[in-house]
Structure 1
Amino acid sequence: MKKLHDSLISIPNRHVFLEQVNQLIQIDPEQSLLLVDVVRFSDVSSSFGYDVGDKILLEIANRIAKLFHSKALLGRVSGDIFGLVIHGLHTHDQLHAFYCHLVEHFKTPISCEDHAFIADFNVGGASNPLKNRNVNSFFSLAESALKQAKSNKFDNFQYAKAFKDQSSGRSLALKADIARAFSNDELEIYFQPKIDLQNLKIVGAECLLRWNHPLDGVLFPGALIEAAESYNMMNEVGYWTLEQAFKSAVTLNNCGLELKISVNMSPTQLYDLNFVSNLSLLAAKYQVNFKQFELELTEDVALSNSFLVKNQLAEIRALGMTIAIDDFGKGYSNLAYMRDIVIDTIKIDKTFVMELDQTPVNRAIIEATQLIAKAANCGIVAEGIETLEHLHILREIGISQGQGFLFSKAVPIAQFIELAQQELIVGSSLVRKQRTSG
């Protein structure tokens, strides 16, 4: 029987799943891929809460795993989209039969905490083209099928078996979106404060990308990043973000705010042999100290190629920059990479913080992370702090820094400067609340 998952975080995420698929097609390119999108699942989380939503999503994942034979490979491509690799070059009819089997099975409602949910799906299916060993091309083929399935009127399944001409209208439109975003200055860096949890003062900030869309207003950049990943333009996005961080450091320093600035590192930059030299050029151009910057990478990137990662990160640290592991614990039980690379900061994933006052296991995980951090001689930042109770418990545990909506959401640089210069008025009000409640 297929082993069931105990939690969503035990299901391979997009990067891990892609690497697993890549390993499969290097050995045997005859594979088929289904991308399974849970229709209108956002309504579940918004109606019943994220805790119920996650339990239902986990039940869906485990049912999918049980439905297919033991050699099928399951991954979580995004929030409510799962990937399933099945050995063999399956035809349209065969993959459509899998889809029908899936839909028929899920006519039985999922029950959770007095709620019932009948899952429906959009499914994109693809057979890996003959002798293709490019995992991104294979994956893009299934993604294009899923996009078409979502727009179909009578059948929520679509099959793709051949690469489309990259000069198609959709492709050109996506590329045009990226080009326009750069040329029209539609991209912007927002800053989420990092807080000293003892005195509630701002000690740093994380840079987060926002897209000022001409029609839709300020957006999270998911669509833009998806397009950039599809067309190998993540390096451009990553370097643009880095340069904005260096520019922002100059602005902050001129205001007397020499704070630590954290920047998310694009996975593609880790494989760019010119990355370190480009960092040096940026530092020279803007006359800022490397010690003011921290690069954040996710655990899947840390595991992706230990030899290359170890060398690249060692060179970055030699410049004076620090390295943080973002979303720590979210996707892996394998922490072997902690022995192979030197890091300076562990950022505890918000999923362990947001239910800290309700789930004793979360506290245990954070306490265990603290032991790991102490052994690795690195600091800890807790993400997702939303309530005073979260703050109290983290202080009890001994976590020194954090960020979250309790203090501030990510804001434009002018607003961030105002917060920092006022030494975080929100923090002062929290202190008053604590004294009143105490």
Structure 2
Amino acid sequence: MDNIKFSLENNARLLKSKVSGYAILGLCISVIAIFSATLAVSYQMTGGISLEGIILAQKSNIALIILDLTPLVFMFWGQSLSSVMSYTAGAMVVDQTNELRMQTSELALRAQHESSHDSLTDLPNRVLFVDRLNQALSAMRGREGKLAVILININNFKELNAGFGSYNADRLLKQFSQRLKCTTDDPMTLARLGGDEFAILHPHIEAEKDIYAIVKKLQKALAINFVLDSVAIDVTATVGVTFYPDHGKDEDTLMQRANIAIYHAKQNNKEFVVYESFMERECPNKLILMSELKKAIESEQLLIYFQPKVELATGKIKGCEALLRWSHPTFGMMNAEKFIPVAERTGLIKSLSHYVLKQAIDSASKWRKNGVDIELSINLSAIDVIDIELPYTLESLLSIYEFPANLLKVELIESFYLTDRTRAIEVINRLAALGIKISIDDFGTGYSSFIYLTELPINEVKIDKSFILSLNEDSKKRSIVDAMIKLAGALNLNVVAEGIETMQHYTILKSMGCKYGQGFYFSEAVDAESLQAIVKSEAFLPQKSPEALAAAAKIHALSN
């Protein structure tokens, strides 16, 4: 803004300077003209040029007297025009500066709104909800009264989405959010946390009965069928509630226990449950992990392993996939599938993803310095894909670790298309604009839609291991895999087969034209140092003896 203002003011000064310059030039020309004309008249009158002749010419010739006034005219014209131009330019600078300031302010407000609101429903998102919850908790400390967190989960939403399609599911979510709005008013905050999950924050209540009244109002609003194109749809929801200070004094605990209340309600076919301590004893481990995951990120109990990705035709390692593991003190080494849903439900997914991105890119950067130049694939959750700050984060990390964007690939699960589609498309396009490649993970197992294959800048699809493991025995799955490979080829997409564990898997996929593969047949996931050694030695290529493969498979089965 200051630079633009300086440029406008500088242009105004230059314009004023040019006007003044032209006025001075006119003044000089008029003086020369007067002097020349006076000499000519003097010569004509006296037959020579002398001081007396010049004075006589000036006194006796009226034309010269008029000509003598022209310098004054030029001086007056220059000063007047310069003043007018200065005033006009100044006014233009002020007007344009104000206009630019307004436009910048509007853009900043719009960006702030988009980063804190759900683009589908325009409700506050998880980030804003957590921020307001923390503010409310700070305000409540030392005061009487209670604070309530109400989590609302739409029942069977995945089935609704599969049955009616993602477009109609979005329409349903909009209607659902409108009905929730009718049950809330100031100072409450209604938010969409993601997918089928909503939340209400009541920052100050006198008694629990106030919340019961809100929940009854909510249930009454949802009792009326939703209508999509004249089709009546019965939509129900499960509600879990926690109170400050009864059930927790911080955001993590209140959100975790509200989730536990929802789990208890669903297990017991109830629509509404207030958290009680006994519920934790009947909850699965993943809910217990909620309170431990944040500490695990901070204490670096989380580890990054890498599984090689091999070109089937040549046996060369072309890339690797970063896989997250949790070295849990009680449950041992845990795969990401066991705790990523926990991170998504507790709002820790952003910090968890940043940790993985940072560690994986750092490792890949070190490989390059040691002569290992391969592609790095990193998994993103559905929540990551709607984070508008993600492109900036990745751009910054790539710059810090000096890692080329064209060697980075992000893997998305198909369910990302069920979240905030508009924002997801925007984020994915921005990642592609940076040069980052896009891959669809577990292709064919989620809520498949061929639309996103044409709408998005996708470079690769990964066939899920559930199709590969029974490739030898199941002719239907073999036909499906063959069709997937042909479809990807028609769309100029690379294909990666996951879960290749035997020579038969490898041979069949290679004959089908599958370009890349990964799995136990090549290597299990290993740490960064081991992967570097593998790539340099090419120790895990497909050309292993059947005896060695059988022995390795036996060890693998025993370890599992």
TM-score of the aligned structures, taking structure 2 as reference length: 0.51
Given candidates 209, 214, 225, the residue that maps to 2:329 is 214
**8 Å Cα contact 1:328/1:349 also seen in 2:** yes
Given candidates 506, 531, 537, the residue that maps to 1:416 is 531
**8 Å Cα contact 2:258/2:275 also seen in 1:** no
Q: CA RMSD in A?
A: 4.0
Amino acid at match of 1:26: S
Given candidates 11, 15, 25, the residue that maps to 2:176 is 25
**8 Å Cα contact 2:502/2:521 also seen in 1:** yes
Question: Is residue 2:497 matched to residue 1:382?
Answer: yes
- Structure 1: gaps spanning 5 or more residues: 1-7, 31-70, 73-84, 90-125, 130-138, 151-155
For residues 332 and 190 of structure 1, the distance between their equivalents in structure 2, rounded to whole angstroms, comes to 28
SS in 2 for 1:411: coil
For residues 258 and 238 of structure 1, the distance between their equivalents in structure 2, rounded to whole angstroms, comes to 23
Given candidates 350, 359, 378, the residue that maps to 1:263 is 378
For residues 520 and 302 of structure 2, the distance between their equivalents in structure 1, rounded to whole angstroms, comes to 23
Amino acid at match of 1:376: L
Q: Deviations over 1:79-102 (max 9, x none)?
A: xxxxxx96457xxxxxxxxxxxxx
Amino acid at match of 2:177: Q
Q: Deviations over 1:270-292 (max 9, x none)?
A: 22222111111111111111111
Q: Deviations over 1:76-135 (max 9, x none)?
A: xxxxxxxxx96457xxxxxxxxxxxxxxxxxxxxxxxxxxxxxxxxxxxx3588xxxxxx
2:394 aligned partner: 279
- Structure 2: gaps spanning 5 or more residues: 1-157, 183-224, 227-232, 242-254, 550-560
SS in 2 for 1:297: strand
Q: Deviations over 1:341-385 (max 9, x none)?
A: 120001111111111111222222222222321232211101111
2:351 aligned partner: 236
Question: Is residue 2:459 matched to residue 1:308?
Answer: no
* Aligned-pair CA distance for 1:263: 0.2
SS in 2 for 1:427: coil
SS in 1 for 2:409: strand
* Aligned-pair CA distance for 1:390: 0.9
Given candidates 506, 514, 534, the residue that maps to 1:391 is 506
* Aligned-pair CA distance for 1:147: 5.1
Greater Cα radius of gyration, structure 1 or 2: 2
Q: Deviations over 1:291-314 (max 9, x none)?
A: 111000011213544433332212
TM-score of the aligned structures, taking structure 1 as reference length: 0.64
Amino acid at match of 1:328: F
**8 Å Cα contact 2:523/2:540 also seen in 1:** no
Q: Number of residue pairs matched?
A: 323
1:109 aligned partner: none
Deviates more, 1:172-181 or 1:340-349: 172-181
* Aligned-pair CA distance for 1:201: 2.3
For residues 176 and 160 of structure 1, the distance between their equivalents in structure 2, rounded to whole angstroms, comes to 25
For residues 287 and 421 of structure 2, the distance between their equivalents in structure 1, rounded to whole angstroms, comes to 36
Structure 1 residues 208 and 23 mapped into 2: Cα distance closer, same or farther (>3 Å)? farther
For residues 141 and 180 of structure 1, the distance between their equivalents in structure 2, rounded to whole angstroms, comes to 17
2:450 aligned partner: 335
Amino acid at match of 1:312: V
Question: Is residue 2:157 matched to residue 1:157?
Answer: no
**8 Å Cα contact 2:460/2:493 also seen in 1:** yes
Q: Deviations over 1:147-190 (max 9, x none)?
A: 5589xxxxx73746145499x99999755412321221111101
For residues 471 and 290 of structure 2, the distance between their equivalents in structure 1, rounded to whole angstroms, comes to 42
Pairs within 5 Å for 1:126-137: 126=238
Pairs within 5 Å for 1:194-213: 194-213=309-328
Q: Deviations over 1:205-254 (max 9, x none)?
A: 10010011123332223453233222211111111111111111122112
2:260 aligned partner: 144
For residues 296 and 174 of structure 1, the distance between their equivalents in structure 2, rounded to whole angstroms, comes to 25
* Aligned-pair CA distance for 1:430: 4.7
SS in 2 for 1:218: strand
For residues 379 and 548 of structure 2, the distance between their equivalents in structure 1, rounded to whole angstroms, comes to 33
For residues 215 and 364 of structure 1, the distance between their equivalents in structure 2, rounded to whole angstroms, comes to 43
Question: Is residue 2:486 matched to residue 1:371?
Answer: yes
Pairs within 5 Å for 1:23-172: 25-26=176-177, 87=235, 126=238, 144-145=260-261, 148=264, 157=268, 159=270, 161-162=272-273, 164=275
For residues 339 and 427 of structure 2, the distance between their equivalents in structure 1, rounded to whole angstroms, comes to 27
2:6 aligned partner: none
Deviates more, 1:305-314 or 1:411-420: 305-314
